[in-house]
Structure 1
Amino acid sequence: MELIEGHKVITPPDGMPVWDIDPYDEDLLRDPVPYYRELVAKGPVVHIPRFSILALGQYETTHKVFSDHENFVSSRGVGLNDFKIGEPWRPPSIILEVDPPAHTRTRKVMARALSPKVVRTLTDMFRETAARMVDQLLARDSFEAVTDLAEAFPVAVFPPALGMKDVDQRNLVDYGACVFNAMGPDNAMRRWALTRNAQISPWIMGACARDRLTDDGLGAMVYAAADAGEIGQDEAAMLVRSFLSAGVDTTVTGIGNALWAFSQNPGEWDRLRADPSLARPAIEEVLRYTSPVHTFGRTAGRDTEIAGFPVEEGTKVICVLGAANMDPAKWGDPESFRIDRRPAGHMAFGAGIHGCVGQNIARGEMEALLTVMAEKVARIEPAGDAVWRPNNAIHALDKLPLRLIAS
């Protein structure tokens, strides 16, 4: 069997558009909107010969395939490597890289720990932390928003919520970046991820061990499920580690992207300040407009079809969520940032049974921070050029110099 990037080479069916592009090119990932635009225009499914994959960008097709866990599976890896053929880069996640019925069992435990009811109990802590941080930043002429707020806020609130006794901002943020970079091809970003993960993995494993957690956090809820026989003790440890990519990295990216979007669209910030009830719709628009997770993979688990084209078993498919969130057929004017859009059905957190399990807590953290900022901050102003950090699966900022003007 001929392989490329750990999956089998396929021959595209007659009539399928072929596009010679590298969707993991670093310059493309820094400014992906032109790529999204062209992918959507090329049709519902495109063959990319460089990696022998199919790429989806139109909303309707992307949503359908991403949600179809029976034909397009996650257990063979959500990146380019096919776990059925080759060795995974790490033990597969028992929540992210697994299919029903095993997924149903572990997802139930995670969803209970991260339910809206549980997240509501954390709201006061989120708001108090946000208020303290925003007051400190208002006293400064300018600040680096990625490290000083987008990273600092989730690292200040999520580890205590999880019950972690050991906290290291760089390790926690880099861990998520490693997981997402590993989904790509053998490029510099993936090689960095594998090297960095080897450095921080022992710390992550130790920090998530049961004896390094308090008995009143989200982690304790997972270990209690193991005690009750719902999952194994080893599975509990793996699920606690899964919290870190679900509750830190995507939230860091979402907060940074929100700050960038409002700094570029001051009229929308004025609109939020005038009507704080728009905080939740504003979060959804930030997620749609910037797509913190831009690409996720699936593998055809059987011979099937996409948009009328036959798809053979073992085909790797990338669902370009960022493109789906920019499809004008769905959104009308997708490249406009409007916090009153209320973009129901956006794919920033995926769709179907594999929708991001941490989305409730991500929304809770973002809402607390934006609501506090709307009360205290009159303007969010650029204090330098934003720099985007290319990643094989997430669209995140590397640097964002900002200035906050008090109300």
Structure 2
Amino acid sequence: MSATAEQAPPAPLCDADPFSLSALENPDELHHALRTAGPVVYLSRYDVHALARYQEVHAALVDWQHFESGSGVGLVNFRHQKSWRPPSLLLEADPPRHDAPRRVLQEILAPPALRRLRAAWQAAAEELVDQILANGTEFDAFTRLASAFPLRVFPDAVGLGPAGRENLLPYGNMAFNSFGPANDLVKADAHRVAELSAWVNAQCAREALSEDGFGARIWAAADRGDLTHEQAPLVVRSLLTAGVDTTVHGLAACLYAFATHPEQWRRLRERPESARVAFDEAVRWQSPVQTFFRTATTDVTIAGTVIPGGTKILMFLGAANRDPARWSDPDRFDLARDPSGHVGFGMGVHQCVGQHVARLEAEALLTALARRVEAIELTGAPRRHPNNTLRSWASLPVRVHPVA
């Protein structure tokens, strides 16, 4: 029998701020403390319960009936406060409202469609690496590789024109910041909300998209009645919001991992077919998406703690991905590991629908690098870019040693 709110012992209390600059810069200590404290922890600063262990995070992610996304995946509860933008039909909606948009995107991003992109993306990756090596062996791997490659190939695949792509990362940064509290990071973006939102919304219109991209196929689905025409631009916007930043910072995590684990780079060069595993292991190890909120639809008991209905739950994906109860030697980046099951892309009906696109981008770039570069090393301290949700980067200075 589940404990009632009166019978259940209170969850361990934590007054730490997971959205402080120090915690965002280096979350490992907080994650360890939360996992150690218990399966459910009460964060007094924000009046929310937190889950940091793999078992509980995974269970909550797959149980959309009791842990809904429709009230928003940030601290703001959409039942009581209006968002600064229309909620995402993929990320911030539950079945049945969530079903048609996801079904359409799953078909558009299915393996046959991605196989048609493979050759072009591999050629683009090889061209990019050749251009970089022609200009020297020391560079910022974040801007020149991790950012440059997705910003080149993914907007092309969606059907965006070349103008204004520099707005994609700032817009994504703003969107992911907004999932946290209204702190200084959110305030720093406030002056650009209208400008960036207007630009992104304009890119989602049918006439702004090429005739052969993912965006045009979304609009074609609306013409067939698989979506409404009001939903179509929102689905395109979901692609642009979630499909760039997460891949960029996942690739940066991968390059950082190889720069600090040279034996793993040698392993990748010997076994280039492990590029996708390397990307997933980097996503597990660094977790570009660190946190997401859910909302309890009713009183829910987890490990003896009652979480009241209508309240927010903060899930620490990054902490779950390094839970020693789930992963052996979790703080190590290791290509011998099977990283499948990590929650870096979510789980259940809200699992990232574009994760295979991200893997294909990573495979193309890592394969091109492995053919041309014997070693990668840091030449200075990497710099993080603080964000309320993302484990993001600002700079990753490296030196590479080209194949002789």
What is aligned with 1:152?
148
The counterpart of 1:27, out of the listed 22, 28, 33, is 22
Post-superposition offset of 1:288: 0.4
On the 8 A contact 2:72/2:294 being kept in 1, the answer is: yes
Q: 1:12 to 1:328 in 2, by over 3 A?
A: farther
| Residue of 225, 240, 245 corresponding to 2:241 | 245
Range with bigger deviation, 317-326 or 135-144: 135-144
Q: Are 2:365 and 1:393 equivalent residues in the alignment?
A: no
* Matching of residues 104-115 of structure 1 within 5 Å: 104-115=99-110
Q: Quick one: which of 187, 202, 206 aligns to 2:202?
A: 206
| TM-superposed deviation, 1:167 | 3.7
What residue in structure 1 maps to residue 181 of structure 2? 185
Residue segments in structure 2 that go unaligned for 5+ positions in a row: none
Asked whether the equivalents of residues 296 and 321 of structure 1 are also in contact (C-alpha less than 8 Å), the reply is yes
- Once the two structures are superposed, the pairs formed by residues 196-345 of structure 1 within 5 Å of their partners are 196-345=192-341
* Matched-pair contact (CA < 8 Å) for 2:39–2:51: yes
Q: CA deviation at 1:12?
A: 12
Alignment correspondent of 2:46: 51
Counterpart of 2:94 in structure 1 is 99
TM-score with structure 2 setting the length = 0.96
Equivalent residue number for residue 14 of structure 1: 9
| TM-score, normalised with respect to structure 1 | 0.95
Structure 1 vs Structure 2: percent identity of aligned residues?
A: 43
Q: How does 1:364-379 map to 2 (within 5 A)?
A: 364-379=360-375
2:239 partner SS: helix
* Deviation at residue 337 of structure 1 after TM alignment: 0.9
Q: Which residue of 1 aligns with 2:401?
A: 405
Contact residue 295 and residue 319 of structure 1 kept, 8 A: yes
Q: Tell me, in whole angstroms, the C-alpha distance in 2 between the residues paired with 1:141 and 1:17.
A: 50
Offset at residue 13 of structure 1 (A): 5.4
The residue number in structure 2 matching 1:84 is: 79
1:11, distance to aligned residue in structure 2 (A): 11
1:59-74 to structure 2, matched below 5 A, reads 59-74=54-69
Give the letter for the 1:116 counterpart.
Answer: P
**Contact residue 159 and residue 167 of structure 1 kept, 8 A:** no
Contact 1:293 1:393 in 2 (8 A): yes
Contact 1:326 1:335 in 2 (8 A): yes
Q: CA deviation at 1:39?
A: 1.3
Matches of 1:345 and 1:151 in 2, distance apart?
A: 26
Give the whole-Å Cα distance in 1 for the aligned partners of 2:322 and 2:150. Answer: 27
2:8–2:304 CA contact under 8 A, matched in 1: no
**CA displacement at 1:144 relative to structure 2:** 1.5
CA distance in structure 2 between the aligned counterparts of 1:92 and 1:60, rounded to whole angstroms: 28
With over 3 angstroms needed to count, the CA separation of the structure-2 counterparts of 1:11 and 1:75, relative to structure 1, is: farther
Measured in 2, the distance between the counterparts of 1:168 and 1:269 equals: 35
The correspondence of residues 153-172 of structure 1 with structure 2, limited to 5 A, is 153-172=149-168
Q: Which residue of 2 aligns with 1:123?
A: 118
Letter in 1 for 2:207: D
More displaced, 126-135 or 140-149?
Answer: 140-149
Give CA deviations for 1:336-385 in whole Å, capped at 9, x if unaligned.
11011011200100100000111010111011111111111111111211
User: Which stretch shifts more, 143-152 or 214-223?
Assistant: 143-152
CA contact (8 A) 1:12 1:47 kept: no
Give the structure 2 partner of residue 173 of structure 1. 169
Counterpart of 1:384 in 2: which secondary structure? coil
Judge which range, 142-151 or 258-267, deviates more: 142-151
**Stretches (4+) displaced over 6 A:** none
Do the aligned residues in 1 keep the contact of 2:137 with 2:401 (CA within 8 Å)?
no
Residues 196 and 339 (structure 1 numbering): CA distance in 2 closer, same or farther, change over 3 Å?
farther
1:179 and 1:193 in contact (8 A); partners too: no
Change in Cα spacing, 1:11 to 1:361, as seen in structure 2 (3 Å) is farther
Please state if 1:42 is matched with 2:37: yes
Q: Report the Cα distance in structure 2 between the residues aligned to 1:152 and 1:230, rounded to whole angstroms.
A: 34
Contact 1:45 1:306 in 2 (8 A): yes
Distance in structure 2 (CA, Å) of the matches to 1:333 and 1:406? 32
C-alpha distance in 1 between matches for 2:214 and 2:352: 17
Distance in 1 between residues matched to 2:303 and 2:394, nearest whole Å: 37
Q: How far has the Cα of 1:192 moved from its partner?
A: 2.6
Matched with 2:127 is 132
**Number of residues of Structure 1 aligned to a counterpart in Structure 2:** 398
Q: CA deviation at 1:110?
A: 1.3
Q: Distance in 2 between matches of 1:376 and 1:37?
A: 39
The offset of 1:199, in angstroms, is 2.1
Contact in 1 for aligned 2:293/2:315 (Cα 8 Å): yes
Instruction: Calculate the aligned-residue CA RMSD, in Å.
Output: 1.5
- State whether residues 9 and 304 of structure 2, in contact with CA within 8 Å, keep that contact through their aligned partners in structure 1: no
Of the structure 1 ranges 186-195 and 131-140, higher mean CA displacement relative to structure 2 is found in: 186-195
Q: Is the 8 A contact 2:49 2:307 kept in 1?
A: no
Residue aligning to 1:4: none
- How far apart in 2 are the matches of 1:30 and 1:372? 30
Please tell me whether residue 352 in structure 1 is matched to residue 345 in structure 2: no
- What are the ranges of 5 or more consecutive residues in structure 1 without an aligned counterpart? 1-9
